[in-house]
Amino acid sequence: MSMKSGALRIAVIYIIISLIWITCSDKLLFYFFQQLSENQLLLIGSVKGCFFVSGTGLALYLLINSNEKKLSNSEAQYRSMYEANPEPMWIYDEATLKILSVNDAAIAAYGYSRAEFLSKSILDIRPAQDVEKVKEATKKVQAEPNKSGKWRHLKKDGSLITVIIISHKIRFNEHAAVVVMARDITERVTFQDALQKVNQDLQAERTKLRETQRISRVGGWEFYPENNNLVWSAEVYEITGISADDTRPAFDIYIKHIHPEDRPQMVAGLQSLLKEGRHLDVTHRIIGLDGEIRYIRQLAKLETSPEAGPKIIGSMQDITEIKQLEEERNKYFYSLENTLNSMSDAFFALDAKMDIIRCNQVFLSIIGKPGEEVIGMNIFNVFPRERNKLYPAYEKALHEKVIVKLDEYSTNLEKWIRLAAYPTDEGVAVYFSDITEHKLKDSQLKEAIERYELVAQATRDVIYDLDMVNNQLVYNTSLTQLVKIPIDQVGYDLQWWRSLIHQDDVANVAASQHKISSEGKTNWECEYRIDIGGGEYKYVMDQGYFVYNDQKEPVRLIGAIRDIDELKRSINENKRLADLITRVNNMIIVTDCQNRVEWVNRAFEENTGFKLPEIAGKTPFEFLTGPSMAPETVEKLLTHIKAHEAFVLDLIIYTIDNIPVWVAAEFTPSFNSKGEYQGYIAVYQNINSRKEKEDEVKRQNEFLREVAWMSSHEIRRPVATILGLMNLTETAGTIEEKDEMLGLIGQTAREMDTIVHSINEKIAAAVHYNK
């Protein structure tokens, strides 16, 4: 009840009582006027006046005291709601902007004491850049509560927070004032900024991936057998040499351009994939529009879904360069065959059964038999085991897959033989030479170096030979392609090479080499970083082979160094990015252009219970919706998705246990380099607690509106009735009419009392509910 309505009620009661007393007492005196003397009448009039003053004074005291108690209780209840609000609130003077009152939540949130708060204006808790905007905003405050957008506030420690402001005008201590509630949304804004940064990083990674596909000449495609529809990525047109402007169906174009000799193989592979579900792996030739023949490797798998039917997802890679390398390798093999036949050392190759599968002319001349007779013969039929001191070397190379070298006297040949046995995929390759006169000649090592040089011509790897005894290091010409160091500044010893290795990796390289050599092993490999010039470092893979002397001491290290910098950094970056996305606390779901799930992160699986293998290929509507999702929400979702728009929406999703969860969903469409729509990335934030708070605030606002309405309308009605009856009473002509008016006034007063009790009961119930 307001102070004005209480004062009016007291005034009305006082007037009614006064009128009743004056009217009744004067009529009573009128009846006894003839029977009393003048002095008696004066005495009775004086007593009547004193009694009236005393009675009305006591009545006024009781009414005013009761009204003040009700006002005090009402104010205490309102202050309790203000002080107990968990959100920071304060009241400021509308004219001076000085803070007049502040609740405990604001003191706790901002760090100022109550005295410090009350010494400030609302401008003192804003950054200087926002002061003018704040002044303008205060002029627009309305009587009804309204949001005035996002603002920045200064805490006592100097930190800035972002808040949502809700304010409205009130009367406070008889002054025009404004009550403010500030909701801190700093964490949400920070998260949204971080999420935007993640999305930007993801877009950059997609661009890198497309560039990688272009460089590696890899393209993707999809084939829908039911309508013979073949869909290509942009890279496919570049790989196949077919124009993207060709209006013919892509499938017909592609089949026509497959080399006629390879076409049946490709068609048969597709049919086998469709009928039996076998993965497609076919290499064929294709003829471009320019007439150039290219080699294409096709990989594909079959996917089926009730909605879309069977679909083949595949990728193709232009392997023309690889095929050319294979042809070069075959030429190299032919050249090697000629080399084997032209060299002075004997050579033969054995399979796992010790049967001869290849040999050179020197070997045939030694044993005195033609090649057609020797191929397929067991080596022990050529060199009997009991007289063959070399056969343990063959068997060790075959079974232990290690290279075996030795110098031994052959009783079969009656010569000193230097032998080297190499494990191969087929068995063992054996080289031997007559070192009877030159036993210590290092011809076999020179042959090995020549072979390394031949390989070096077909690779950019740095091949080196380290003489560990004399500390001499020899490289091939690929060194200058790896490091940006002038040839006249290149060193030829181990110390110079190790000076290029990153200081954090030197110890590991040296330790790994020592471990292999101390154990008598031959194969060594290690990844490390080297300075390629100007303080720039690259990752390299160093693979070496140790050569030992008769005392089992390492004397040579022959190896190859490969540049793996781009691969290493790409792997590390992919791991970092994958770990970042996986660890994001919010739920992330990626859909394709048909709104089917392609990927979800770990947070999505943990919060909803749905695992990626179970929902891949489904639309989110199939498993996330439920009865609480309003039709208008679904319609809004579909409208935005159909328009490929970015949008934010609060909605309810359902877990695998059918539990509803409120989420703030941010939908971002993704497009390829040509601007073609590829699907959506949706980020869900659990806002159950926020929705609960919003419902609570809504209930409180409804309650306050209801109380205000009752206070301003329900009480006004009986007050207006009493005023009307008072006017009628003044004009009443008879005692009966006045008595009737007084009865109605009493009835209306009781009705007003009932309304006041009803308001008090609602306030008490609300206080009890909030507790």
Residues 608-652: pLDDT tens digits?
Answer: 999 999 999 999 988 888 877 778 888 888 898 889 999 998 888
Report the alpha-carbon distance of residue 364 to residue 385 in Å, rounded: 19
Average pLDDT of the segment spanning 423-436: 85
Q: In the 8-state DSSP scheme, what is residue 593?
A: T
Q: Residue 185 in contact with residue 164, Cβ under 8 Å?
A: yes
Q: Tokens representing 118? A: 């009350």
User: Between the CA atoms of 499, 502, 505 and 506, what dihedral angle is there, to the nearest 10 degrees?
Assistant: 10
Look at residue 728 and tell me if it is in a domain: yes
pLDDT exceeds 90 at position 18 = no
Q: What is the pLDDT of residue 81?
A: 59
Q: What are the distances in angstroms from CA 423 to CA 402, 420, 490, 711?
A: 6, 10, 35, 101
Nearest to 172 by CA among 233, 242, 61, 89: 89
Last residue of a domain, one of 404, 428, 449: 449
Report the alpha-carbon distance of residue 333 to residue 179 in Å, rounded: 90
Q: What is the pLDDT of residue 514?
A: 92
Last residue of a domain, one of 270, 299, 318: 318
Q: What is the pLDDT of residue 441?
A: 46
Using DSSP's 3-state secondary structure scheme, residue 578 falls into: helix
Residue 121 burial by CB count (10 A; 0-12/13-18/19+): exposed, middle or buried? middle
Q: What is the pLDDT of residue 50?
A: 75
Nearest to 584 by CA among 611, 607, 565: 607
**CATH number of the domain bearing residue 294:** 3.30.450.20
Q: What is the pLDDT of residue 731?
A: 72
712 with 739, same domain: the answer is yes
Residues 204-230: pLDDT tens digits?
Answer: 666 655 555 555 567 777 888 777 788
Alpha helices in 244-368 (DSSP H): 250-257, 263-276, 320-342, 361-367
Alpha helices in 36-185 (DSSP H): 38-83, 104-110, 114-118, 131-138
Look at residue 577 and tell me if it is in a domain: no
Last residue of a domain, one of 449, 482, 498: 449
Provide the angle, in degrees to the nearest 10, between the axes of the packed helices 186-216 and 565-583: 150
Alpha helices in 131-219 (DSSP H): 131-138, 186-216
pLDDT exceeds 50 at position 506 = yes
Which residues lie across from 292 on neighbouring strands? none
Q: Residue 305 in contact with residue 617, Cβ under 8 Å?
A: yes
Q: What is the pLDDT of residue 146?
A: 79
211 with 222, same domain: the answer is no
Q: In the 8-state DSSP scheme, what is residue 174?
A: T
Average pLDDT of the segment spanning 340-350: 80
* Amino acid at residue number 13: I
Q: What is the pLDDT of residue 666?
A: 92
523 with 511, same domain: the answer is yes
Q: Tokens representing 72? A: 């005090």
Residues 571-607: pLDDT tens digits?
Answer: 676 566 555 555 567 889 999 999 999 998 888 888 8
What is the b/e burial string over 416-450, where b = at least 16 CB atoms within 10 angstroms of the residue's CB? bbbbbbbbbeebbbbbbbbbeeeeeeeebeebbee
Strand ordering across the sheet containing 415-423: 356-359, 346-351, 427-434, 415-423, 404-410
Look at residue 454 and tell me if it is in a domain: no
Q: What is the mean pLDDT of the chain?
A: 79
pLDDT exceeds 70 at position 562 = yes
Q: Tokens representing 188? A: 């949400």
250 with 199, same domain: the answer is no
Task: Point out the least confidently predicted range of 138-147, 158-167, 736-745.
Answer: 736-745
Residues 286-302: pLDDT tens digits?
Answer: 887 667 788 888 888 88
Residues 514-552: pLDDT tens digits?
Answer: 999 999 999 999 999 999 888 889 899 999 999 999 888
Average pLDDT of the segment spanning 497-512: 91
669 with 757, same domain: the answer is no
Nearest to 653 by CA among 587, 707, 600: 587
Look at residue 574 and tell me if it is in a domain: no
331 with 437, same domain: the answer is yes
Q: What is the pLDDT of residue 245?
A: 73
441 with 338, same domain: the answer is yes
pLDDT exceeds 90 at position 756 = no
Number of H helices, E strands in the chain: 26, 25
Q: What is the pLDDT of residue 577?
A: 57
End-to-end CA distance of the chain: 23
pLDDT exceeds 70 at position 318 = yes
Look at residue 575 and tell me if it is in a domain: no
Rank 211-215, 680-684, 701-705 by mean pLDDT and report only the highest: 680-684
Q: What is the pLDDT of residue 708?
A: 61
Q: What is the pLDDT of residue 387?
A: 63
Q: Residue 652 in contact with residue 626, Cβ under 8 Å?
A: yes
pLDDT exceeds 70 at position 484 = yes
Report the percent of the chain where pLDDT is more than 90: 11
pLDDT exceeds 60 at position 6 = no
Q: Give pTM, 2 decimals.
A: 0.28
Angle at 27 between CA 25 and CA 28, to 5 degrees: 65
211 with 270, same domain: the answer is no
Task: Point out the least confidently predicted range of 271-285, 332-346, 465-479.
Answer: 332-346
In terms of pLDDT, which residue wins out, 209 or 241?
241
Q: What is the pLDDT of residue 30?
A: 64
Report the alpha-carbon distance of residue 741 to residue 637 in Å, rounded: 65
Look at residue 573 and tell me if it is in a domain: no
Q: What is the pLDDT of residue 463?
A: 85
Give how many domains the chain has, as a whole number. Answer: 8
Nearest to 676 by CA among 206, 223, 217: 206
Average pLDDT of the segment spanning 400-423: 84
* Amino acid at residue number 360: N
Q: What is the pLDDT of residue 257?
A: 81
Handedness of CA 673, 677, 678, 680 (dihedral sign): positive
Q: What is the pLDDT of residue 205?
A: 66
pLDDT exceeds 70 at position 38 = no
Q: Residue 224 in contact with residue 305, Cβ under 8 Å?
A: no
Look at residue 576 and tell me if it is in a domain: no
195 with 180, same domain: the answer is no
**CATH number of the domain bearing residue 763:** 1.20.58
Report the percent of the chain where pLDDT is more than 70: 77
For residue 251, the enclosing domain spans: 217-318
Report the alpha-carbon distance of residue 433 to residue 355 in Å, rounded: 20
Confidence of residue 1 (pLDDT cuts 50, 70, 90): very low
Q: What are the distances in angstroms from CA 461 to CA 218, 464, 502, 564, 620?
A: 24, 10, 19, 10, 50
* Amino acid at residue number 468: M
237 with 312, same domain: the answer is yes
Placement of tokens 């709601």 in the chain: 81
442 with 329, same domain: the answer is yes
750 with 708, same domain: the answer is yes
Look at residue 430 and tell me if it is in a domain: yes
